[in-house]
Structure 1
């Protein structure tokens, strides 16, 4: 299994607080990786560290064997990294159509994936519901055809169950058909039907890795810990 990008002994500090404590996190190519953890566990910080949105206080970010620790976020984006944050993932003052036009791909593909966006094209993104904004945000990843690394924080936040299931399927295709390394930061493990075979799960607690394996192993481990 080829590692696309990885954190090596990564440490991130926010003032006096350390959010990641020497985290080693390999992210394989053509695979869905799920980062689990409660709020404050370090999930979002790990994504931002991979994307270059926060600096490391120690450790490295390695992409296909090259040290990109000092490479700024916009350069990583140019090389094929797409980050979809949980907050401020859309431009609130722009319309849905204008947000889609900023993505590098064909907006029609996003509308095929999320037909509910069609009647909202003239609406400003800031007026959308949480689920609608999430659909628009995830469209960024779907419309980045050359993406090699796709990082999505809380991909289905606010979505109805059917739309959430469709979203997991669309993100899974980026890995299984497009060959991208897809990382999803979640508080809970997605439903079994939403994850492709070979999905990896890493659980974080207080900035440290406490579990790595496949979804069934996590379920068994949780039952045994009780």
Structure 2
């Protein structure tokens, strides 16, 4: 199994606090990987470290064999990395249609509307006026339109209904790209779609393996349920 991107002994600090304590974490190419953990576990920080939106205090980020530790986030994006953060993932002053056109090669938003028909009635609305769940659908739709070969998403199902969240996980599992999802717990849809789960706790990786091996009841939740992480 080839590796798309990896953290090697990665440390991240926010001021005097260290959020990642020498983390080793590998993401298989062309598969869906889940970074699992509760609030404060380091899962979001690990995702940001892969994207380059937080700097490493020590360690390396290696993408397809190349050390990109000092490569800024915008340069990683130009190379084919797409990040959908937990908040501020859409352009609030632009309409839904404009948000989609910016993400789509050639401006064709058709695939996003096919995936999320509910967006069709919102095309003329400014994204900042949408509900939290509607903004999340738009953010994920933008990620689906992206030609990126590495797609990172922080809690993509947050605020969505159970049915829409389940559809989202199915869509992500079918992408022709390497996908990394950060989640507080493991929805059934990701159990079926994911190849690897890395569970983080207090800034350390405490488990790496297949989704079925996670086992503990708290890790599995109903799609779309639960608070933001």
Q: So what's the TM-score if we normalise by structure 2? A: 0.91
Task: Flag the 1:52–1:18 CA change in 2: closer, same or farther, 3 A.
Answer: same
Question: Partners in 1 of 2:21 and 2:5 — Cα distance?
Answer: 18
Alignment partner of 1:168: what SS? helix
Q: Say if 2:200 and 2:206, in contact at 8 Å, map to a contact too.
A: yes
Asked if the contact 2:34/2:183 (under 8 Å) is kept, the reply is yes
Distance across 1 between alignment mates of 2:210 and 2:196: 5
Q: Distance in 1 between matches of 2:126 and 2:194?
A: 39
Q: Equivalents in 1 of 2:187, 2:214: separation in Å?
A: 12
Counterpart check, 1:156 vs 2:157: yes
Post-superposition shift, 1:36?
Answer: 0.7
2:166 aligned partner: 165
Q: Residue 10 of structure 2 contacts residue 58 of structure 2 at CA under 8 Å; is this kept in 1?
A: yes
How many residues end up aligned between the 2 structures?
Answer: 217
The offset of 1:181, in angstroms, is 1.5
Where has structure 1 moved over 3 Å in runs of 4 or more? 193-198, 220-223
Q: Please give the alpha-carbon distance, in whole angstroms, between the structure 2 residues aligned to 1:196 and 1:82.
A: 23
Output one character per residue of 1:35-79: Cα deviation in whole Å (capped at 9) or x when no partner. Answer: 111111111111111011011000000011110111111111111
Alignment check: 8 A CA contact 2:30 2:178 kept: yes
Unaligned runs of 5+ in 1: none
Say whether the 8 Å CA contact 1:201–1:215 is kept in structure 2.
yes
1:163–1:7 distance in 2 versus 1, CA, 3 Å: same
Decide which moves more: 108-117 or 213-222. Answer: 213-222
Distance verdict in 2 for CA 1:66–1:221, change over 3 Å: farther
2:183 is matched with which residue? 186
Partner of 2:210: 214
Report the RMSD for the aligned CA atoms in angstroms: 1.6
Counterpart secondary structure, 2:215: helix
How many angstroms does 1:30 deviate by?
A: 1.2
Any idea what the Cα deviations from partners look like across 1:112-157, whole Å, max 9, x if unmatched? 1101010101111111111111110011211112x22110000100
Q: CA deviation at 1:222?
A: 7.6
2:118 counterpart of 1:122 = no
Give the structure-1-normalised TM-score: 0.92
Alpha-carbon offset, residue 10 of structure 1: 0.4
| Alpha-carbon distance in 2 for matches of 1:72, 1:14 | 18
* Whole-angstrom CA distance in 1 between matches of 2:215 and 2:192: 16
Aligned mates of 2:45, 2:67 — CA distance in 1: 19
